[in-house]
Amino acid sequence: MIPTDEQPYPLPDGWQWCRLGDIAKLFTGNSINEKIKAEKYLGRTDGLLYIATKDIGFDNQIDYATNVRIPADDNFKKAPANTPLLCIEGGSAGRKLGFTNQPVCFVNKLCAFVANEMNPKLIYYFLQTQDFAEQFTAMKHGLIGGVSIKNLTEINFPLPPLDEQQRIVALLDELFADLDEAKALAQAVVDGSKLRRAAILHKAFTGELSQLWRDEHGTTLDSWQRCLFGDVCQINPPKISTRDLSEDLEVSFVPMATVSEVRGEITALQRKPLREVKSGFTNFAEGDVLFAKITPCMENGKAALVGELVNHIGYGSTEFFVLRCSEKIFNRFVYHLVRWQIFRNEAKSVMAGAVGQQRVPKRFLTGYQLNLPPPEEQKEIVRLLDDLLGREQRTKDHALKTIERVGLMKKSILARAFRGELGINKNLRAI
């Protein structure tokens, strides 16, 4: 029991405050030398599965596909089925949690919570609460951010009677199953977004997207001209002359970090005096397209169409290519082109330089062979792309908000559950 003056909040009748060490046996597992693991335990077909930290996801799921097994007679600590396993050391401390469906052995960075005469799943749910997270975080120590078993046993736990435990666990199982289904559907939308965007862009640059427009205007793909990108778009045009400009003149500045690889836009223009940026940075103008040349920014899709600039002058990272379009090609057409996965895959294949500092050479852009539609069809392609990709982004954003709301609802439900406020009836609002 916890003294009254130390109890975090009042509990319903029949509940009591206790410590985690009062309701469960806590212990960590065993580490294995990699050489010994390979010689003795890897690839076995007998014994108990050995669960490492990497085998537990941030979605609270345990991956039992490990091919490391420990013979039953080896002196390894074992966790029975229906045991919470929590990472308590390293970068994943307090964040990776699983609930075993079979007896297992496990690594020393994981802690087992073997319940004493209570529903073990109630402990599993408690380890997901904000209350536990705050206590756990306050106990972290050292550079690796671990929490000792001794400290874990001292964490406050609101213990309901056994019949109430069973009711709470059953209700949480039901509510979380519904929420997890909603989250899975939303996650499928998010996961499929990249492929859908790639398909839309592929149709755009192969002519399929604007087929109806050509039919309506009595033209064919023969109107598209094969050309080099460098013939219709200036790569890294000369800097503007600053001779007659004041050193104190404010201009826009765009670091690489302010270009969103997700949305393909500049998220925040910085303002700097001309004297700080006129040398050693890339100069660009309104209407130019910025295309990241360095890994991993290029592969991730960092590119943006430059909008209004402070005093109509912009500078930014030297890791940008500046693409300035001629009258033969529209800047939004170029913008969508450099955001196209196939284009970036080709650019990646010719990157050169030291590992971690590889860059797309300028010759790739100047020599890139492009099937260029006539200007009027470019306009139609851009219109269609802006509409379709805009819808796709809104759909993805809605799915991401759904995932976020599911997380918030789970936290709210858990908080109510461990205060004895979880009602009998489900109260899930539409997500």
Instruction: Measure the CA–CA gap between 126 and 117, rounded to whole angstroms.
Output: 16
Q: Name the 3-class secondary structure at 370.
A: strand
pLDDT in tens, 131-163: 999 999 999 886 567 899 999 999 999 999 999
Q: How many helices (H) and strands (E) does the chain have?
A: 14, 22
Choosing from 356, 372, 388, the residue where a domain stops is 372
> Do residue 259 and residue 363 come from a single domain?
yes
What confidence score (pLDDT) does residue 383 get? 97
Cβ neighbour number for residue 252 with a 10 Å cutoff: 23
> Do residue 238 and residue 324 come from a single domain?
yes
Instruction: Measure the CA–CA gap between 328 and 68, rounded to whole angstroms.
Output: 61
> Do residue 165 and residue 230 come from a single domain?
no
Q: Is the pLDDT of residue 378 over 90?
A: yes
DSSP letters, 325-364, are E-TTS-HHHHHHHHH-HHHHHHHHHT-BSSTT--B--HHH
> Do residue 8 and residue 154 come from a single domain?
yes
Cis, bond preceding 10 (omega within 30 deg of 0): no
Least reliable range by pLDDT among 22-26, 109-113, 324-328, 420-424: 420-424
Residue 136 to residues 62, 77, 254, 356: CA-CA distances in angstroms? 21, 23, 40, 36
What mean pLDDT value characterizes the chain?
94
Q: Is the pLDDT of residue 101 over 70?
A: yes
Choosing from 113, 141, 159, the residue where a domain stops is 159
> Do residue 46 and residue 93 come from a single domain?
yes
User: Residue 185 sits in which domain range?
Assistant: 160-224+374-431
> Do residue 129 and residue 232 come from a single domain?
no
| Average pLDDT, integer, range 63-70 | 94
- Sign, Cα dihedral of 99, 105, 107, 109: positive
Length of the chain: 431
Q: With bands split at pLDDT 50, 70 and 90, how would you rate the model's confidence at 260?
A: very high
What confidence score (pLDDT) does residue 345 get? 95
What confidence score (pLDDT) does residue 4 get? 85
Q: Which two tokens stand for residue 40?
A: 């003795």
- Sign, Cα dihedral of 108, 111, 116, 118: negative
> Do residue 229 and residue 355 come from a single domain?
yes
> Do residue 391 and residue 339 come from a single domain?
no
Instruction: Measure the CA–CA gap between 287 and 200, rounded to whole angstroms.
Output: 24
Total domains in the chain come to 3
Q: Are 237 and 322 spatial neighbours (Cβ–Cβ below 8 Å)?
A: yes
The strand pair at 314-316 and 250-254 is best described as parallel
Q: Which residues face 105 on adjacent strands? A: 50, 78
> Do residue 359 and residue 402 come from a single domain?
no
Residue 195 to residues 199, 201, 342, 382, 401: CA-CA distances in angstroms? 6, 10, 12, 19, 20
> Do residue 8 and residue 146 come from a single domain?
yes
> Do residue 400 and residue 307 come from a single domain?
no
Choosing from 347, 372, 397, the residue where a domain stops is 372
Q: Is the pLDDT of residue 191 over 50?
A: yes
> Do residue 43 and residue 120 come from a single domain?
yes
What confidence score (pLDDT) does residue 144 get? 65
Q: With bands split at pLDDT 50, 70 and 90, how would you rate the model's confidence at 2?
A: confident
Q: Give residue 405's identity as a one-letter amino acid code.
A: R
Q: Which residues face 97 on adjacent strands? A: 86
Cβ neighbour number for residue 89 with a 10 Å cutoff: 21
| Average pLDDT, integer, range 210-220 | 97
Residue whose pair of structure tokens reads 């977004």 in the numeric block: 193
Q: In terms of C-beta distances under 8 Å and separation of at least 24 residues, what long-range contacts does 409-417 make, across chains too?
A: 409/179, 410/128, 410/176, 410/179, 411/129, 411/130, 413/172, 413/175, 413/176, 414/125, 414/126, 414/128, 414/129, 414/130, 414/172, 415/129, 415/130, 415/131, 417/125, 417/168, 417/171, 417/172
Identify the CATH number of the domain in which residue 353 sits: 3.90.220.20
What confidence score (pLDDT) does residue 426 get? 47
Q: Which two tokens stand for residue 3?
A: 């003294």
